Amino acid sequence: MRNTYLRLLQLVTGILIAVLLGVHMVLMHLDAILGFFGVDVKDVTSWGSMIERARQGIWAGLYIALLAVVLYHALNGLRNVILELTPSARTERVVTWAIVAFGIVAFVWCSYVPIALLSA
Protein backbone atom coordinates (compact mmCIF):
# COMPACT_ATOMS: atom_id res chain seq x y z
CA MET A 1 0.00 0.00 0.00
CA ARG A 2 2.76 2.41 0.95
CA ASN A 3 4.67 1.70 -2.26
CA THR A 4 1.46 2.29 -4.22
CA TYR A 5 1.34 5.89 -3.02
CA LEU A 6 5.06 6.36 -3.70
CA ARG A 7 4.44 5.08 -7.22
CA LEU A 8 1.46 7.42 -7.73
CA LEU A 9 3.60 10.35 -6.54
CA GLN A 10 6.27 9.25 -9.04
CA LEU A 11 3.73 9.68 -11.86
CA VAL A 12 2.47 13.05 -10.58
CA THR A 13 5.99 14.45 -10.07
CA GLY A 14 6.93 13.10 -13.51
CA ILE A 15 4.24 15.23 -15.16
CA LEU A 16 5.17 18.29 -13.06
CA ILE A 17 8.84 17.88 -14.04
CA ALA A 18 7.97 17.54 -17.73
CA VAL A 19 6.27 20.96 -17.53
CA LEU A 20 8.71 22.81 -15.24
CA LEU A 21 11.89 21.33 -16.72
CA GLY A 22 10.47 21.81 -20.22
CA VAL A 23 10.32 25.56 -19.52
CA HIS A 24 13.82 25.42 -18.03
CA MET A 25 15.23 23.57 -21.06
CA VAL A 26 13.62 25.90 -23.61
CA LEU A 27 14.86 29.03 -21.80
CA MET A 28 18.36 27.68 -21.22
CA HIS A 29 19.02 25.98 -24.54
CA LEU A 30 16.78 27.33 -27.29
CA ASP A 31 18.14 30.90 -27.24
CA ALA A 32 18.69 31.08 -31.03
CA ILE A 33 15.20 29.75 -31.85
CA LEU A 34 13.54 31.91 -29.16
CA GLY A 35 15.39 34.91 -30.63
CA PHE A 36 13.82 34.12 -34.01
CA PHE A 37 10.37 34.37 -32.38
CA GLY A 38 11.28 37.70 -30.79
CA VAL A 39 12.00 36.45 -27.25
CA ASP A 40 15.41 37.75 -26.22
CA VAL A 41 16.78 35.60 -23.39
CA LYS A 42 20.30 37.15 -23.54
CA ASP A 43 23.26 35.16 -22.24
CA VAL A 44 21.52 33.06 -19.57
CA THR A 45 24.68 31.73 -17.95
CA SER A 46 26.38 35.12 -17.43
CA TRP A 47 26.64 36.36 -13.83
CA GLY A 48 24.50 39.46 -14.54
CA SER A 49 21.65 37.50 -16.12
CA MET A 50 21.81 34.82 -13.43
CA ILE A 51 21.84 37.21 -10.48
CA GLU A 52 19.00 39.24 -11.99
CA ARG A 53 16.84 36.09 -11.96
CA ALA A 54 18.12 35.07 -8.52
CA ARG A 55 16.86 38.36 -7.02
CA GLN A 56 13.26 37.68 -8.09
CA GLY A 57 11.10 35.73 -5.64
CA ILE A 58 9.14 34.04 -8.43
CA TRP A 59 12.28 32.38 -9.85
CA ALA A 60 13.50 31.32 -6.41
CA GLY A 61 10.05 29.83 -5.70
CA LEU A 62 9.94 28.03 -9.06
CA TYR A 63 13.43 26.62 -8.61
CA ILE A 64 12.70 25.39 -5.08
CA ALA A 65 9.45 23.78 -6.28
CA LEU A 66 11.34 22.15 -9.16
CA LEU A 67 14.04 21.02 -6.74
CA ALA A 68 11.48 19.32 -4.48
CA VAL A 69 9.76 17.38 -7.29
CA VAL A 70 13.00 16.51 -9.07
CA LEU A 71 14.67 15.24 -5.89
CA TYR A 72 11.64 13.09 -5.09
CA HIS A 73 11.39 11.69 -8.63
CA ALA A 74 15.12 11.03 -8.96
CA LEU A 75 15.70 9.48 -5.54
CA ASN A 76 12.52 7.41 -5.61
CA GLY A 77 13.51 6.22 -9.08
CA LEU A 78 16.96 5.26 -7.82
CA ARG A 79 15.38 3.43 -4.87
CA ASN A 80 13.09 1.53 -7.26
CA VAL A 81 16.07 0.51 -9.39
CA ILE A 82 18.00 -0.74 -6.34
CA LEU A 83 15.05 -2.54 -4.75
CA GLU A 84 14.32 -4.30 -8.02
CA LEU A 85 17.34 -6.46 -7.15
CA THR A 86 15.24 -7.74 -4.18
CA PRO A 87 17.83 -7.26 -1.41
CA SER A 88 17.20 -8.43 2.14
CA ALA A 89 14.74 -6.49 4.33
CA ARG A 90 17.67 -5.05 6.26
CA THR A 91 19.44 -3.77 3.13
CA GLU A 92 16.12 -2.37 1.95
CA ARG A 93 15.75 -0.33 5.16
CA VAL A 94 19.34 0.92 4.95
CA VAL A 95 18.88 1.96 1.30
CA THR A 96 15.57 3.68 2.07
CA TRP A 97 16.89 5.67 5.01
CA ALA A 98 20.17 6.58 3.28
CA ILE A 99 18.17 7.94 0.35
CA VAL A 100 15.72 9.82 2.61
CA ALA A 101 18.62 11.36 4.57
CA PHE A 102 20.44 12.37 1.39
CA GLY A 103 17.23 13.87 -0.02
CA ILE A 104 16.61 15.97 3.10
CA VAL A 105 20.19 17.28 3.24
CA ALA A 106 20.19 18.05 -0.50
CA PHE A 107 16.83 19.83 -0.27
CA VAL A 108 17.80 21.96 2.72
CA TRP A 109 21.18 23.01 1.27
CA CYS A 110 19.95 23.56 -2.28
CA SER A 111 16.95 25.63 -1.21
CA TYR A 112 19.05 27.67 1.25
CA VAL A 113 21.24 28.97 -1.61
CA PRO A 114 18.46 30.59 -3.73
CA ILE A 115 16.96 32.10 -0.54
CA ALA A 116 20.35 33.53 0.46
CA LEU A 117 20.89 34.88 -3.07
CA LEU A 118 17.59 36.80 -3.01
CA SER A 119 19.42 39.60 -1.20
CA ALA A 120 22.66 39.26 -3.20
Give residues in contact with another protein (CB under 8 A).
Answer: 11, 14-15, 17-18, 21-22, 25, 29-33, 45-47, 50, 67, 70, 74, 77-78, 81, 84-86, 106, 109-110, 113, 116-117
Helices H / strands E in the chain, number of each: 5, 0
Query: In sequence order, which residues have a C-beta less than 8 Å from that of residue 18 and are 6 or more positions away?
Result: none
Q: How far is the CB of 25 from another protein (least distance, A)?
A: 6
Q: How far is the CB of 32 from another protein (least distance, A)?
A: 4
Q: How far is the CB of 11 from another protein (least distance, A)?
A: 5
How far is it, in rounded angstroms, from Cα 21 to Cα 28?
Answer: 10
Rank residues 33 and 94 by Cβ distance to another protein and give the closer one: 33
* Interior angle at CA 53, CA 37 and CA 71, nearest 5: 100
